[in-house]
Structure 1
Amino acid sequence: MLIAVDFDGTIVEHKYPAIGKEKIFAFETLKALQSKGHLLILWTIRTGKELEDAVEYCRKNGIEFYAVNRTHPEEEIDEHISRKVNADLFIDDRNVGGFMGWGEIWQWINKDATDEETQNYQKRYLKAQRKTFCGFLQAIFCGK
């Protein structure tokens, strides 16, 4: 599948024009999607330096996109027309009903995953949630 993925509010928390904190399990899920052969498009409102920063942030976290704000890497961009891309699936925090979460996205896309694949994924996801929650508690009680 060709999958368009938003950046702010989806891969990271909304802090535009800064880069927010990574959403729990975003990069793990994106890597799992790529390992299954899906092509990822970064589809974002960002342009210029903010876009470069987002692409570099993703690259440092192990994600290289098939294309950025276009359907194919070789597609010419005309800044005077819409940057609508043609994808099989759009992952965006502005979906109807909001952002469902990366764990749910992985499970929805990988309906045919083996029980072992699903269990391994769920264990890693829960570990990431605990790590985030423990960091939250530490910030409250330790002032960090």
Structure 2
Amino acid sequence: MIQKTPIVIDFDGTICEHKFPDIGEPTPGVKEALETLKKAGYRIIIHTCRTGSYWKGIIPGNQPKLIEGFMKYHKLPYDTIWMPDKPIGIAYIDDKAIRFDNNWKVITENIQNYSKKTDG
């Protein structure tokens, strides 16, 4: 069985506007971007630190259910929501990182172009 290539996307400030501890509105273009990535065959993993041990007792509500509800309500496609602790920092450095700046169209084009280069 061929596994889909995973794309990991942060929740707060990327999928939705940053209103932490509340959940903001979907960012402009996110629905179209997720639909494009899903249609292209990617496995979409939403990553968040909302369930991190350091937030216990600070963030109200069942965060996994709230995020699932948000994704379903806004009809945003995804495969998995990943919620183990994510360290809080001022920056995340990664050799596979893509800078998000409300540029969903550019991001999806870059991912598809990168995949074409590495598939052959």
Q: Is the 8 A contact 2:9 2:46 kept in 1?
A: yes
Match of 2:35, as an amino acid? K
TM-score calculated relative to the size of structure 1:
0.55
Gaps of 5+ in 2: 52-60, 115-120
Tell me how far 1:11 sits from its aligned partner: 0.8
Q: Larger % of helix: which?
A: 1
Tell me how far 1:95 sits from its aligned partner: 5.3
**Larger Rg computed on CA atoms:** 1
Match of 1:107, as an amino acid? E
Counterpart of 1:6 in structure 2 is 10
Tell me how far 1:53 sits from its aligned partner: 1.2
Tell me how far 1:45 sits from its aligned partner: 0.8
What whole-Å deviation, never above 9, does each CA across 1:3-57 have from its counterpart, x for those lacking one? 1111100011110111112111011100110011100111101236133212211
Residues 1:61 and 2:74 aligned together: yes
Gaps of 5+ in 1: 71-78, 85-93, 113-144
Tell me how far 1:110 sits from its aligned partner: 2.2
> Taking every aligned residue pair, what percent have the same amino acid on both sides?
28
Q: Would you identify which runs of 4 or more consecutive aligned residues in structure 1 move more than 6 Å?
A: none
The count of residues paired between Structure 1 and Structure 2 equals 93
What value does the CA root-mean-square deviation take over the aligned residues? 2.6
TM-score calculated relative to the size of structure 2:
0.64
